[in-house]
Every structure is written in structure tokens, then in C-alpha cells.
Structure 1
Amino acid sequence: MSTVTTKDGVQIFYKDWGKGQPIVFHHGWPLSADDWDTQMMFFVLRGYRVVAIDRRGHGRSSQVADGHDMDHYAADAAAVVEHLDLRNAVHIGHSTGGGEVTRYVARHGQGRVAKAVLMSAVPPIMVKTPGNPGGLPIEVFDGFRSTLAANRAQFYRDIPAGPFYGFNRPGAKPLEGVIANWWRQGMMGGAKAHYDGIKAFSETDFTEDLKRIEVPVLVMHGDDDQIVPYKDSAPLSAKLLKQGTLKTYQGFPHGMLTTHAEVINNDLLDFVRS
């Protein structure tokens, strides 16, 4: 397997296919680089170099007990980028991966990043606070933690079968293979990493990171996102970015990169080429 060892001794797995301008994919919680397979195939067949990373504790990376926070996630991504010496790269992050991209670009990406994409992403901050009154109550995330600790396997079946892909909406047609693949990816990772990751994706405040980013950023979000509510995420992030462009998808769910891959892939290609 292709791995890089971080300064604190963690092995980070990555995929690296093709040649050309690099596009780096950052996955959502609690998944793996495999969640980007459709996009990676799309871009590698069009002459791009595609790289995707398994976050620490997820997929094929080390199931360590510690370091499950955005600072470590961003530093781990930087370790892969530096190992591969990627330059003029486009970084694309979905959900928690959008938070990872935001922190990586703001703190590690100078001179290496051409553009970035935040897709259904968690910034600026998910949890409700005095400064973020539209956020979700902490009790929502406490519920995630208790459910994960009690029966992770069932929890990871219920999420994709319901709100993640919008399969709980009237008239929706659940795709069993998609649900099973989500479950497979989730169960590959470590329970401790996933438990701690809930705090990382829900309580990290990316406001200052967003303000620091100089490169063009495309903010993509479905307005029927049941995981990361639209109104408290994408429009706020786009306003904080120096070169932010907001693209809203009517009726699209959180997992729109899978359910609406044809639309998403072509919009990503247009942005990369622009």
C-alpha cells in the first residue's frame, strides 16, 4: 500500500493515479478515500493526476487513539502533499473533508494550492454557539456519540439508508449498493477515531481559516442537505472567503457527489478548467 508516516508516527494511506495537474480529494466522516472513486475515475480519464487520502483512523490509515482533530487532519494532508511534492493542486473536500481542506489551505497550502472546493462542507462551524445561533444543538452530536458507542454497525447502516443520501425522502429509491458501500467504508475505520471525529467536525470554528484563504474557492451545497444544514454553512463560508463562489443545488442531498455524480463532476471540471 502507498503510505506516508507523519511526524507523530501515524501511517496515512493514499491513492495516487495518473499524471497532469493534481486534484486532491478529502473524504467525509466516517468514510475513506473510496468515497471519491467516481470522481477519481472521471478526472484521471481526462488527463489529471488524482490523489485521495484516508484520514488518520479511517480506511487503511493507522487506527491510532489520538490526534483526531482538524489540526492533525490538516497536517497529515500536508505530509502526503509534501511527500508527493504536489504543486498547482486543486483540493476538494466533502463534509468533514471540507473542514480539512479549509484548514490545510489556510495553514499549509501556500505555494502549492491553485484552487479549492468545499462540497456539502462543515465550515464555518456546525454546533450552535452564541456566535452561531443557527447551528445545531450540542445534544445532536452527543446523540451521535452515544449511538456510535452503543452500536456502531447499526448506526452506519441507518445513516446512508436515511438522511445522508436523501433516501428517506418521499419517492426516493434507495440504492442498496451505495448503502452497503457506505457501511463498508465506515466499518473499516476505528471506533475511537470516529467518536473523536464528531467533535472535530462539529465544534471546530473555521472562520479565521476561511478569511485567510487567498485562492479561488467553489462552495457547493445542496439545499436539502439533512446532515450539514445549508443555511448555516455554505452561504456563510462563501461570504468569508476572499474569492468564494457559491453554487446551490436545489433538492440535492448531503451525499450529492454519489447521487448526482454526473452534475457534480461536470461542475467540478468547469471550475478546475476555469
Structure 2
Amino acid sequence: MTSEFSLPLSRRQTLIAGATVSLAMAAPAFAARAKPTDTFKGASPMAEEFVTTKDGVEIYFKDWGPRDAQVIHFHHGWPLSSDDWDNQMLFFLSHGYRVVAHDRRGHGRSSQVSEGNDMDHYAADANAVVEHLDLRNAVHIGHSTGGGEVARYVARYGQPQGRVAKAILVSSVPPIMVKTESNPDGTPIAVFNGYREALAANRAQFYLDVASGPFYGFNRPGAKISQGVIDNWWRQGMEGGAKNHYDGIKAFSETDQTDDLKAFRVPTLVTQGTDDQVVPYKDASLLQHKLIKDSVLKLYDGYPHGMLTVHADVINPDLLAFIKG
């Protein structure tokens, strides 16, 4: 709340101020030892956890690992944040990689701006992070909507700039999800209208229903349900902006990325579970493999949309094998 005596803080200022207060209250002994110039060797200072895009949006990112190591850049799904990649980031970090992930605009800790909730801006925001960190020879991995972001980033920015080594699309939305005359096997628009109605009516309940149901396949008989996984999905979703997520439904369902996929000239792994109840694999990974020249297709029998989380023990080594191969 503002008054004549105060000014509104930016999202970056709010987070930094909160962290400062917490440190001051909780760790006086540490504060006495630490100095403003103290940083981990080779690590980026805290001020670089945000980059401001050309249209003034603050994009939050994580950047862990050796500066001179092979880079893996992760792109998260809707309506989540870079936190959804924690398992993979720690896994690849333990194998000597430098791992980077960012929160899409309107998601996680990034600015909840009103406009620009579309694939063009998503890709441009990813490029802003890449250029800010000067990432080269990077592997870009996208899940779901993040796969669409990767497709547009690679085709429009990364590949022309020579910054991309490989790409991985996991349970991703391209080439286009919605049913059209040219995509007769797509998902009817009524399904996505239902998403919008549920989000607008009760976003908190809608996100709980998605996480506890089709996203991880927890609605299947005999499924091993994890309340922690459900709660973490809900937490990430509610941290983002309602309008950003509402507009994002159109972005991930109606954006035709056929030309993006056709433009790929980097080694690409396309992977998905055959029991994906969110993005049907026959209208996604099978078409991606067909459109991307010389791509590798790997399907997992019976795995759900959120297989990166519930089957990380299987998926992570397979991703590593492709990256190293």
C-alpha cells in the first residue's frame, strides 16, 4: 500500500529488501563476518538475479555452477516457475554442468506485467537472459509451454546467433495444440475455454485440481500420489499473475510453431510420455519429430505430462546421455 510518504517498490527491490531484513534478523553472526564484496568464486553477484528486458520487464533467473562449464538452460511449463527444474538443475550441477533457469514474465518472481504474454515475448525474454549472461554452446531444454518457448528462441535467436549446441523438447506444446482445419486432430477450443473459465472463477482450486489429477497422472488407478509434489505445483502457480496465466493459455494452445520446428538445424531430442493427459503425444512429440530434421524421438510408455518430476530417476540419465552423446 502506498501513501504520500511512500513510493511503490519494484519487484526486484521488494525481494532484495525482504532478503535483507531476513538476514539481518536471523543471522547477526554471519552478517558480522560477511562483507558487501563477498561472493563465491566465479559466481554471479546477487544483483544479477534479474535482467530487465527492452520493454522494461524484470526477469528473474538462477545461474549455478562453473562459469566455464557446458551450459544447460531450462524453460519451465505453464503456470509454473524455474523452481520446477530444481531436480534437474541439481542433477546436472552434480555432473559438472552450469545450469540456468528463468521465470517467464508473469510467472514466479518475474514482473507481472499486463502485456506481452505470448510466445514472441517469451522467446525474447529468454534471449535477454542469454545475452545478459553471454551464454554460448548452450543446451536448451523446455517442458510443455517451455518447449514452445525453446522452439521460438532457437529458431529466432539462438540458432542465428550461433549460441545453441542442442535442444530438448519434453512433453512440449508445438507445433500447435488447438484443433483447426489444418490440425484436425488437435484439442477442441472448448477445452481451453474451460481452462480460462476455471482459472477466472477459482484459480486456487483449479491449480489444485490440475496438480492432483492429470498433470502427474495422480488420477490413474494405482498411482503413487505425492502431496508434496501437488503442493509445490500449487505454490508455483499461485506465485504468478492471474492475467499472465490467463493470457498464457492462448499462447500455449493457439500459437502455430510449425515454421519454428522446420527451422531447427541443431541436434534435438523430442521426448514425451504416452499417457500425457495434458498435451496428447500424437499431436505433439510425433509431429515435432516429423518436422525437426534429424531429431531423435524417445517415448515413455504410460508416463504422464509431469514425468520430469515423478520419473526423474529415469528421465535425467536419458537427458544426460543425449547431451553427452
Common fold by TM > 0.5: yes
> Take 1:171 and 1:271, find their aligned partners in 2: how far apart are those partners?
31
Structure-1-length-normalised TM-score: 0.99
CA separation in 2, counterparts of 1:154 and 1:47?
Answer: 40
Match of 1:66 among 97, 115, 119: 115
Which amino acid letter does the alignment assign opposite residue 118 of structure 2?
D
* Pair member with larger Rg: 2
Unpaired runs of at least 5, structure 2: 1-45
Which structure 2 residues correspond to residues 209-248 of structure 1 after superposition, within 5 A? 209-248=260-299
1:38 equivalent in alignment to 2:87: yes
Runs of 4+ in 1 over 2 A off after TM superposition: none
CA drift at 1:243: 2.4
- The answer to whether structure 1 residue 14 and structure 2 residue 43 are counterparts is no
Q: Secondary structure at the match of 1:140?
A: helix
Following the alignment from structure 2 to structure 1, what is the Cα–Cα distance between the partners of residues 85 and 273? 18
Alignment of 1:78 with 2:155, yes or no, is no
Q: 2:250 aligns with which of 193, 199, 213?
A: 199
Asked if 1:133 is matched to 2:184, the reply is: yes
Distance 2:138 2:294 in 1: 17
Q: TM-score, normalised by structure 2?
A: 0.84
Corresponding position of 1:50: 99
Structure 2 residue 199 is the aligned partner of structure 1 residue 152? no
Matched residue, 1:91:
140
SS of aligned partner of 1:133: coil
- The alpha-carbon deviation at position 221 of structure 1 amounts to 0.4
Aligned to 1:102: 151
Q: 1:71-123 CA deviation, whole Å, 9 max, x = no partner? A: 00000000000000000000000000000000000000120000000000001
SS across alignment from 2:244:
helix
Instruction: Provide the rounded CA distance (Å) in 2 between the counterparts of 1:52 and 1:73.
Output: 13
**Distance in 2 separating the partners of 1:11 and 1:263:** 35
User: Can you list the C-alpha shifts for 1:10-41, whole angstroms capped at 9, x where unaligned?
Assistant: 00000000021000000000000000000000
Q: Deviations over 1:201-258 (max 9, x none)?
A: 0000110000001001100100000000011110111010012111000000000000
Residue identity over aligned pairs, in percent, reads 73
| 2:219 corresponding residue in structure 1 | 168
Pairwise CA distance, 1:173: 2.0
The alpha carbon displacement at 1:174 in A equals 1.2
- Give the equivalent residue in structure 1 for 2:228: 177
The answer to which structure, 1 or 2, has the higher relative contact order (CA under 8 A, 6+ apart) is 1
- Residue 231 of structure 2 aligns with an amino acid whose one-letter code is A
**Match for residue 170 of structure 2 among 96, 119, 131:** 119
